[in-house]
Amino acid sequence: MYRTDDILSTVRMFREEQLDVRTVTLGLNLQECASYDADHLCKKVRAKILQRADRLVAVCDAISQKYGIPIVNKRLAVSPVTWLLEGHGPDTFLQVGHTLDEAARDVGVDLIGGFTALVQKGMTRGEQVYFEVLPRVLAETQRVCASAS
């Protein structure tokens, strides 16, 4: 049961402290999109994002309006691209970066994370390629977020 003072405290936070939801994130596993053919891989990535995330923004907006709570960012998080692209060259990494950016734009999200390398235990050849291509991907895309850990 909700206590009256808890409800009033929450209302006060909305009014006086501009409480909001910073980000809503939908996570997608893209590993099933792996392919030796870059074009086929990108088509599969794009199709999965469009299919799974097509209603994310609409649902967030409906919830925001219903409860009067602003949702600042709508975000996708995909499995690390280095897992998906091991064995591919720089051109494929760049192509996938553009595909992620375009699909994120098409579903209306603000950010797409997952252009990522997990290198805490050493680097594979694919992760080396990732770091070679990373500056260009970030310069040529608007919504792609990158990380390394």
Q: What pLDDT is stored for residue 34 in this prediction?
A: 96
Q: Is the dihedral of CA 82, 88, 91, 95 positive or negative?
A: negative
Q: Where are the domains of the chain?
A: 20-148
Q: What is the pLDDT of residues 49-67, one digit of tens each?
A: 999 999 999 999 999 998 8
Return the axis-axis angle of helices 38-53 and 90-107, rounded to nearest 10°.
20
The percentage of residues in the chain with a pLDDT greater than 70, rounded to a whole number, is 99
Mean pLDDT of 86-98: 97
Residue 16, pLDDT > 80, answer: no
> What's the rounded Cα separation, in Å, for the pair 15 and 32?
45
Give the confidence band of 1 by pLDDT, cuts at 50, 70, 90.
Answer: low
Q: What is the mean pLDDT of the chain?
A: 93
3-state helix, strand, coil in the chain (%, to 5): 55, 20, 25
Within 10 Å of residue 94's Cβ, how many Cβ atoms? 17
